[in-house]
Structure 1
Amino acid sequence: MHRLNAWLRRHPMVVDSVWALVVLLLGLLSDFSESDRQLYGGLAVSLAIAALMVVRRRYPDLAAAGGTALGLGQLVLDIVPGGSSIGYLVFAYTGAAFGSPWASRLVLSVGLVAGPLTLWRFDSSTDSPPGDPAPAGPSTWQMVFVAVLMSTPFVLCWAWGRLTRVRGAYLVELEDRAARLERERDAQSKVAVAAERARIARELHDVVAHNVSVMIVQADGAAYVLDNSPQQAKEALATIAGTGRQALVEMRRLLGVLRTSETAEEYVPQPGVEELPELLEQVRTAGLPVDFATSGEPRELPRGLELTVYRIVQEALTNVRKHGGPGARARVAVDFGDRDLEVLIEDDGRGSTAEQLDAGGADGPGHGLIGMRERVGMVSGSLDVGPRPGGGFRIRAVLPLKTAS
């Protein structure tokens, strides 16, 4: 049924043709009961009304003007209105709903005078033979009342058409607004992604710069103690090799990430897993109770991976503070596996949807989960977000621990 309605909306001429056929049949039934002159005239009018009804939505101005001319022709040629005259109501609606402003004004004017003109032209009380006394007809007030009553359907159809036009314009405006908002949302998402990637690039640049600085210091120290303490020099060279491999991994992750020209920031080591207790203490001080637990065997991680863990926890707890509501509690768990690192942040608050977090919530547009997805994607990890069973929100990130050598 839905498909049929959609097909009919796409082919309005089919619907109009069906109604035109119905109006034509009504006209034929009333025309065949008239005299020969009225029969041929009525058939011509009925066919013309049906033809205009078929094309009324494709050519609304033509339908309004043609219907007006056809009605005036009936008055001039003294063709009594038949069953097909109901089509004039359709033309009044069409001119108001789909026609040009002049067509709308035309059908309204014709509708207002249709009743008086029809009553005047086809009043049977004026058709008595010459010499016969005229029968007593209705009073003037009765004539006015009947004329107004005959014009009322035309005015009502015109008003219905105007209402349809206004409603259609309102729906078009809503669709345009929805499309515009969708484009703006997509643009904001792209801007947020670009800004987040630029921020990640700067942070990774800081990490790599820190590793290179360590390598330089170790190399200078190894050169200084090479003659007097070969063992210390060997340890320094091992540190340089490890740091170099780690820096190489970070540089490979940096490829493909766009970066802005603002590079005048101080190159300092970025926070990592070791700084999580400090972060959680700050959050507790701000009024959000947080439990923290670790499992598995802790180990040294690449600075870029540590930074990713820190930022994910930081962003997740920020979202809890924004959307968790009063009385919410949070839990952070870090599991060191053999091949991956799992970070779990969940709360028991009222929660929020992923779309709201992406949009920044009630505080205005922000990065939300966009930044998390970008960070996790940079280390080839996976991110799972959604409502928590029993209430609240849950964020789970799995980050691979394989490093390139």
Structure 2
Amino acid sequence: MPETATPAPPVVPGVEWVRPRPDRRGYRNDVILALVLALGTVASVVLYRATGWGEGTEWWASALWTAGMTLPLAARRRLPEVVALVASAVFIVGGVLGIGEALFSNIALFVAIYTVGAWGRSRRVATIVRSLIVVVMFGWLFWGLIYFSAMQDHLPELSREGLLSPYLAYGFINVLTNLLYFGGAWYFGDTAYRSARAKAELEQRTAELAAERERTRVQAVALERLRIARELHDVVAHHVSVIGVQAGAARRVLAKDPAAATASLSAIESSAREAVDELHGLLGTLRGDADTGPVAVDGIGGAPATTSTSTRGIDRLDELVAESADGGLPVALAIVGEPRAVTPVVDLSAYRITQEALTNVRKHAGAAATAEVRVRWSDDALEVEITNTGTTTGAAGTVRRSDATAGGLGQLGMRERVAAAGGTLELGPRARGGYLVRASFPLRRGDAAGIGTAAATQSEAGA
């Protein structure tokens, strides 16, 4: 059976932490320590008796005293307070009986008092027990010094005469020695407890950080899938709307103008193939965690979250406009200013917002509507504006950028794409008729890609 220590309890502010018990190996080490101290005490007693110190005590009394002084230490971390009280009582008994061993018994008592501070289950009980031991020991010390001060045959070589007599100096040395002895046992015990508590707190925080990283990874994968779902929405909505318009045109002219119907059907075929290609790319990304690891998420693995499965960007707006025109929606494209390099998130967002806006025109603006796409490049911003001359319906109703709940999934996707790039978005009907979509993306924002990714994560989390 594996020897595992008891898991450390959580460190809760304002709540007393209880140090967990050691494992079996720790208890076995306590038994070994007790046996080693017992053997050392036996040897020390023999040596002391050989010097004439403690000869008046029977051997069996010395043996019992040695066992009582050391063997309880085998349970020092199970019952630290009890062991410390027993060791203190046996120590005093040995002093009263004159057993005379003053080496290993002091080590055993020091270990017992130290263990109370290091392994006590209750800090209050540990403090009370150690205080009781210290008070009794110093009381015994002072009583002995005062009692023997009047006995001239006790330490006769130490004179009692003078303000600072040799005997008084001897007493001060004893007091100072005991202060260092008991103070050291108290201090090192508390230090060991605080170190164990700090280690447990560090392990707890490490576990919490690991759990938080795992939650973040799972959340990031989910957010990436939401981004891909919006990509799917854009692709499907755009191509299906084009297919619908072309199919209607082919149906109307099939009998009268087969050539025009053939052209419409060819446009349907082309749009369907493009849709299938893009859907394959997006669905391949969704299958990424099964085939090649987790879905690519910025900071988690794979490509950054701002990288699209589509290669479409601002430089392909002319193809998008031509495709819309072929689908029966007259669209004009105007580019103002000098094009510049932009981050992937801005590049894709500008294209997708334009695509979504043109799709909404075909779906909601009426058969007679026309549209205009205007791209404005300035020193610090890129602005994409899509306007139409159609009528405004409920599905494309007024949505301002401060209205986070209005509009459908397409408008929600627009808002989140703009937020991902740190830009602004305006949606709503124009005063002179028609509808306006205007997205502005900053071009001078330091590390734009990093800021955009963070904004995208916050926006998607809110969604």
> TM-score normalised by the shorter chain: which range applies?
0.5 to 0.7
| Map 1:45-56 → 2, pairs under 5 A | 45-56=65-76
Overall identity of the aligned pairs, in %: 27
Determine whether 1:206 maps to 2:245.
Answer: no
1:223 maps to 251
Say what the alpha-carbon RMSD is for the aligned residues.
Answer: 4.6
Q: Structure 2 vs 1, CA of residues 126 and 21 (structure 1 numbering), >3 Å: closer, same or farther? A: farther
Structure 2 counterpart of 1:273:
312
Deviation track 1:47-86 (CA, whole Å, cap 9, x = no partner) reads 2333222221233223223223323433555543443311
The equivalent residue for 2:36 is 22
Aligned pairs for 1:154-233 within 5 A: 154-233=182-261
Alignment CA distance shift 1:150-1:39 (3 Å): farther
For 1:29 and 1:119, the matched residues in 2 are separated by: 30
Instruction: Give matches, 1:3-402, under 5 Å.
Output: 11-32=25-46, 33=49, 34-35=54-55, 37-75=57-95, 77-85=97-105, 86-99=107-120, 100=122, 101-111=124-134, 113-114=136-137, 117-118=140-141, 120-121=143-144, 136=159, 138-248=166-276, 253=282, 272-276=311-315, 280=341, 367=457
In 2 relative to 1, CA 59–112 (structure 1 residues): closer, same or farther, beyond 3 Å? same
The alignment covers a number of residue pairs equal to 290
Shift of 1:98: 1.1
Structure 2 unaligned regions, length at least 5: 1-21, 161-165, 287-308, 317-338, 347-376, 381-416, 422-441
Which residue type is aligned with residue 280 of structure 1? A
Segments ≥4 residues shifted beyond 4 Å: 75-78, 118-130, 133-138, 248-257, 276-279, 281-287, 320-324, 363-368
Structure 2 contact 45–101 (Cα < 8 Å) conserved: no
For 1:93 and 1:323, locate their aligned partners in 2 and report how far apart those are by CA, in whole Å.
Answer: 56
Cα distance, 1:113 vs structure 2: 4.5
Amino acid aligned to 1:88: L
Question: 1:58 is matched by which residue type in structure 2?
Answer: R
In structure 2, C-alpha distance between the alignment counterparts of 1:364 and 1:64, rounded to whole Å: 58
CA distance in 1, matches of 2:454, 2:276: 38
TM-score (norm 2): 0.51
Question: What is the rounded CA distance, in whole Å, between the counterparts of 2:202 and 2:171 in structure 1?
Answer: 47
Q: By how many angstroms is 1:119 displaced? A: 7.2
2:74 alignment partner AA: V
Tell me, in whole angstroms, the C-alpha distance in 1 between the residues paired with 2:150 and 2:58. 19
Q: Find the aligned partners of 2:36 and 2:149 in 1 and give their Cα distance.
A: 32
- Cα pair 2:45 2:100 within 8 Å, conserved: no
Q: Tell whether the 8 Å contact from 2:114 to 2:185 is kept in structure 1 after alignment.
A: yes
Larger radius of gyration: 2
The change in CA–CA distance for 1:36 and 1:249 in structure 2 (over 3 A counts) is farther
The letter of the residue matching 2:262 is: K
- Note if contact 2:87-2:112 (Cα within 8 Å) is conserved in structure 1: yes
**Aligned-partner residue type, residue 206 of structure 1:** D
Calculate the TM-score normalised by the size of structure 1.
0.57
What amino acid sits opposite 2:114 in the alignment? Y
**Per-residue deviation, 1:96:** 1.1
The alpha-carbon deviation at position 136 of structure 1 amounts to 4.5
